[in-house]
Amino acid sequence: MISRIIDDQFKVIQPSFISQEIKRIIHQERIKQGVNRGESCNINYMLKYVIVCLAIVSSVRANIDPQTVEKANRIIGRVYSQEGTTGTCFLISDEGYFVTNSHVVGSSSQVIIRFPDQSEQITAEVVYSLSDHQIHEDLAILKVSPNKIKKRLSGTLLLTPPAQGTEVFSLGFPGAADIYGINNSSEGSSTLTRGVVSSVKGDLVLTDAAINPGNSGGPLFNFDGVIIGVNTAKSAEKGVDNVGIAISASVVAQLLNELGIEYNSQGKASKPKPTIKKEKKNPEQEVKTVPEKSGNRKSLLWIILIIVILLSGVTVVVIINKNR
């Protein structure tokens, strides 16, 4: 009975060759144990069955759906700055807004965008970029006319931090490919690399997916085609290989919110950050108000009245009610 349940669960994910291998092992074990069809097996057999299933399935690497890749290619574009630098960008709004890295556009006021599936190129205005920034602020926003992106697709940002081990892929135009003239062709085809999320460090996502010059500013996708980050750099530390750095999609969302740009998203940010930093008051300047008691107020009025009478030189006899 248990073997049937496990078999039903694995039918969803196992390729045909895995199914055949498992059935072969089951048949051999049944013959060894003399178990008839429909009868339950002992616990040792079940443990062996589960271990084999897990070992085989874990050895199979998931494939990226070609349709997901095709859609992802309709989101990205290659950026050419006025300073001669190149990188990758991605469409984030149907209004014609693209996201890339600030270090890709440099001091340019305009850039050229070319798409992977056509040689046509369009001019984009740089509407936001920081010249002095930290790595998690290395973002720029580009703007083109909406009628020039009718064949494009807007990306979706994942606001929830990705789990460690999440499989990801990157699409972009790495400079290494230019050495062999691959990305200089009229098609301007993109290059795909894949890996997993190594860890999430605050506003940064670390991955072992290859990120090279030319990938900067491009999206880091999960296997559902949702953007989890913006490829920004790779570790330059000595002895550290295969560590790419991407700015978290939640940081991009925060910037778009501040600029009033609409975008598609999934999930919810775990710790929303304030868009405006408020100055803290000096504790010595804070004035605390304490509710006054009615008795204190009456005493103050009596004191004021006595002072006024004494200053006026009038003798007054005050009768105090014993019950007061």
First to last CA, the chain: 89
Q: Is the dihedral of CA 145, 175, 229, 255 positive or negative?
A: negative
Instruction: Please give the CATH superfamily to which domain 156-266 belongs.
Output: Trypsin-like serine proteases (2.40.10.10)
Angle at 170 between CA 164 and CA 173, to 5 degrees: 155
Phi, psi of 81 (to 5 degrees): -90, 170
The dihedral formed by the CA atoms of 22, 28, 29 and 31, expressed in degrees to the nearest 10: 140
CB 62 within 8 A of CB 87: no
Taking only the tens place, the pLDDT of each residue in 293-321 is 445 555 666 666 666 555 555 444 444 44
pLDDT of 130 higher than 90: no
What are the residue ranges spanned by the domains of the chain? 2-58, 75-148, 156-266
Of 93, 102, 129, 138, catalytic? 138
pLDDT band at 50 (very low <50, low <70, confident <90, very high): low
Taking only the tens place, the pLDDT of each residue in 145-161 is 999 998 899 999 999 99
Looking up tokens 């039918």 gives 11
CB 179 within 8 A of CB 187: no
- Identity of the amino acid at 94: D
Active site residue 7: no
pLDDT band at 27 (very low <50, low <70, confident <90, very high): low
Q: Taking the domain 75-148, which CATH number applies?
A: 2.40.10.10
Q: For residue 213, what pLDDT is reported?
A: 84
Distance in angstroms (rounded) separating the CA atoms of residues 163 and 259: 28
pLDDT of 1 higher than 70: no
Of 154, 170, 198, 216, catalytic? 216
Q: Nearest to residue 218, comparing CAs of 199, 202, 233?
A: 233
Taking only the tens place, the pLDDT of each residue in 88-101 is 999 999 999 999 99
**How much of the chain, in percent, has pLDDT values that exceed 70?**
57
Q: Between 133 and 13, where is the model more confident?
A: 133
Of 102, 103, 154, 248, catalytic? 103
Q: Nearest to residue 245, comparing CAs of 127, 101, 129, 91?
A: 101
Q: Between 234 and 67, where is the model more confident?
A: 67
Look at residue 195 and give its three-state secondary structure. Answer: strand
Active site residue 103: yes
Q: For residue 284, what pLDDT is reported?
A: 35
Active site residue 27: no
DSSP 284: G
Q: For residue 279, what pLDDT is reported?
A: 30
For 78, the token pair is 């290659």
pTM of the model: 0.65
pLDDT band at 234 (very low <50, low <70, confident <90, very high): confident
Look at residue 10 and give its three-state secondary structure. Answer: helix
Taking only the tens place, the pLDDT of each residue in 241-278 is 678 999 999 999 999 999 999 999 998 765 545 443 33
How high does pLDDT run on average in the chain? 75
Same fold, 75-148 and 156-266: yes
